[in-house]
Amino acid sequence: MASPVAKTAALFAVIAALFVVVGGVVGEYLFGSWLAGLAIALALSLVLNLVSYFACDRLVLWSTRAKIVAPAEAPRLAAAVQELAPRFGLVAPRLAIVPTPSPNAFATGRDERHAVVAATEGLLRTVDDRELRGVLAHELAHVRDRDVLLMTFAATLAGAISFAAQLVLFTTLTGGTGGQRGGVNPLVLLVALLTAPIAALVLRLAISRAREFRADEIGARLGGDPEALASALTKIEASAQRRPGKLGSPAQASLCIVNPLRGGSLASLFSTHPPTAERVRRLRAMRPDFAYRPGSRSPGAVAARPVRS
């Protein structure tokens, strides 16, 4: 079975290739130049996603109604993050509490200096201290691996493909004559317009699922307790199945450790998260070559980077 890193790299390669093909076809159709199509589609998507990337922490906190808290206001959360952060080579990120009874957690921020780790009120009531550490280790793994940056890049390519398709549709509806300049087969163009945006979405969601598996693995290894995360995921999933909660928009829900917007099963192809049962199975299959001891460093932990002034 391919590792999450290898799978992510392969998916990025496929979505990049799809972008080149679609941008080229659209460029030839509208401008007689494949390079022009690539440039326009990429520029439009890049502008929107850069704004989202640099403002992601503020946007996510606002949309979920999360409140930044001082360590004294959330002592369990603060103690766990301060214990775990050095194992991931991180400075302890800011903390936030989301006022919702649905148990969940997420991390956001474009880098570790702007990172925020948030937990819902429901999570703090649902899990014990050991399970809370497991959840927070998963979120710190996202921060360590710069997953916000990776997913912004994936969204940029997927968005560029959609923009390219919409550009052709808009030009056609408004009476553009670019098609007379290009030598593109109309049937090929139609197939590209209909299938490429869906394919790009599927690839982006597959990258998201691969990153969740990766965060589970890194969080369990550096956090030192795979069973804690497995147990927490089981509890969170049971709550989501029993009473789906709302946590911001669907885009923000994809940041959560378990998608809170679904009560029943969804087609796995269009899911932001892998099946929780499979995540739990993988965690419990990890060889326990270390013993969990609260307050101890796990084998394989990396040295903390110094705090930047």
Question: Where do the domains of the chain lie?
Answer: 4-55+148-193, 60-146+208-285
| 212 has catalytic annotation | no
| CA 175 vs CA 24, 170, 258: distances in Å | 21, 9, 46
Nearest 5°: CA angle at 155, between 113 and 48? 75
Tens of pLDDT, residue by residue over 203-247, are: 888 889 999 999 999 999 999 999 999 999 999 999 877 766 666
Quote helix, strand, coil % in the chain, to nearest 5: 65, 5, 30
Give CATH for domain 60-146+208-285.
3.30.2010.10
First-to-last alpha carbon distance for the chain, in angstroms, is 43
Q: Which pLDDT belongs to residue 247? A: 67
Q: Which amino acid is at 180?
A: Q
Q: State the pTM of this model.
A: 0.80
Tens of pLDDT, residue by residue over 9-27, are: 888 788 878 877 777 777 7
Active-site entry in 28, 83, 131, 139: 139
Give 10-residue mean pLDDT values along the chain (309 residues): 72 80 76 74 76 81 92 96 96 95 91 92 96 97 90 81 77 57 64 80 88 95 95 92 65 77 55 92 80 45 36
Q: Which pLDDT belongs to residue 252? A: 64
